[in-house]
Amino acid sequence: MKKIIVPVDFSEQSEYALKVAASLAKKHQSEILALHMLELNQAIISSSEGFHPEQTVFLLKMAEKKFNEFLNKPYLKDIKLTPIIKHFKVFSEVNEVAAQNGADLVVMGSHGSDGLKEIFVGSNAEKVVRNAEIPVLVIKEDIIDFKVDHFVFASDFKDEGLVAFHKAKAFADMLSATLDLVYINTPGDDFLSTKDAYERINHFLMKAGVGKEVKIYNDYTVENGILNFSMAHGADAIGIPTHGRKGLSHFFMGSIGEDITNHSKIPVVTFKI
């Protein structure tokens, strides 16, 4: 892991993300790219009537000063840190920064479980997840020393999830974490018999070229199954696949991915299919 992007909006949550990124950077000798997206009004920038360019420069200088003060933290000492300011709040720019700098991971702060609309749907974290080509680690609490011993990755084990699976396995290997694979079996139209579930899982693992045990966990909903399984197995982080801009994957349609991110008390990592 060479470079880690941390979107910074000066909130408490973005500092949680910065601390986790610092912990990872120290362990893997990584560089942190602290990214602030400055929200300047387009009318202010483009107007030729009554507005002077010096005002734009002044606002940018003020943002740079605040940004540098925010990044002046003891836990960032001896870490290579590069501040980046983008002048528009366009979340697809995270991809551009990642591609230009060869970044491997985004660490993003989120507000916890205080209300679905405020936390994930329509939030900055959701926008970053939907646009990011690289894995996104969502942090909601202050973690002093980020360490993952047990990493749960949930999948429907259909072929479209192979790319996300390989990314999740690489993430677990990088952190020297035990990778626990789980298929959540629910009642209704998506229910599979044990025989059918293992046929799908074995086909998937053969195509993936790995020999891993997969646990089948029964629950009333996929999201409850993932959270309950993760809690029962002492997971330190949860991995889920996403389709990025096309929306959450078929396995995580609707509010499933959002519910997992909102209600999980532990970090969640998304991997684009």
Please write the tens of the pLDDT for every residue from 200-224: 999 999 999 998 899 999 999 999 9
Q: Are residues 138 and 6 in the same domain?
A: yes
Q: Are residues 131 and 222 in the same domain?
A: no
Confidence of residue 175 (pLDDT cuts 50, 70, 90): very high
Q: For residue 22, is pLDDT > 60?
A: yes
Q: Are residues 182 and 193 in the same domain?
A: yes
Q: Are residues 117 and 237 in the same domain?
A: no
Q: Are residues 179 and 198 in the same domain?
A: yes
Q: Are residues 52 and 74 in the same domain?
A: yes
CATH number at residue 170: 3.40.50.620
Q: Are residues 107 and 215 in the same domain?
A: no
- Closest listed residue to residue 174, CA positions, set 199, 207, 146, 200: 146
136-139 vs 268-272, strand pairing mode? antiparallel
In sequence order, what DSSP letters do the residues of 215-229 get, joined into one string?
EEEE-SSHHHHHHHH
Share of the chain above pLDDT 70, in %: 79
Domain boundary among 146, 181, 205: 146
In this prediction, residue 262 carries a pLDDT of: 75
Q: For residue 162, is pLDDT > 70?
A: yes
pTM for the full model? 0.86
Q: Are residues 3 and 89 in the same domain?
A: yes
Share of the chain above pLDDT 90, in %: 56
Domain boundary among 146, 162, 189: 146
Q: For residue 127, is pLDDT > 90?
A: no
Rounded average pLDDT over 184-191: 89
In this prediction, residue 250 carries a pLDDT of: 40
Q: For residue 254, is pLDDT > 70?
A: no
Measured between alpha carbons, how far apart are the two ends of the chain, in Å? 20
Domain limits at 136?
A: 1-146
Q: For residue 247, is pLDDT > 50?
A: no
Q: Are residues 65 and 10 in the same domain?
A: yes
Q: Are residues 170 and 63 in the same domain?
A: no
Structure tokens at 38: 């400055």
Domain boundary among 130, 146, 162: 146
**What are the DSSP E strand ranges found in the chain?**
3-7, 31-37, 81-86, 105-109, 136-139, 150-154, 178-185, 214-218, 237-242, 268-272
Q: For residue 139, is pLDDT > 50?
A: yes
Q: Are residues 171 and 259 in the same domain?
A: yes
**Residue range 93-121, pLDDT digits in tens:** 788 889 899 999 999 988 755 443 333 33
Q: Are residues 152 and 138 in the same domain?
A: no
* Cα R_g (the chain), whole angstroms: 20
In this prediction, residue 188 carries a pLDDT of: 86
- Report how many domains make up the chain: 2
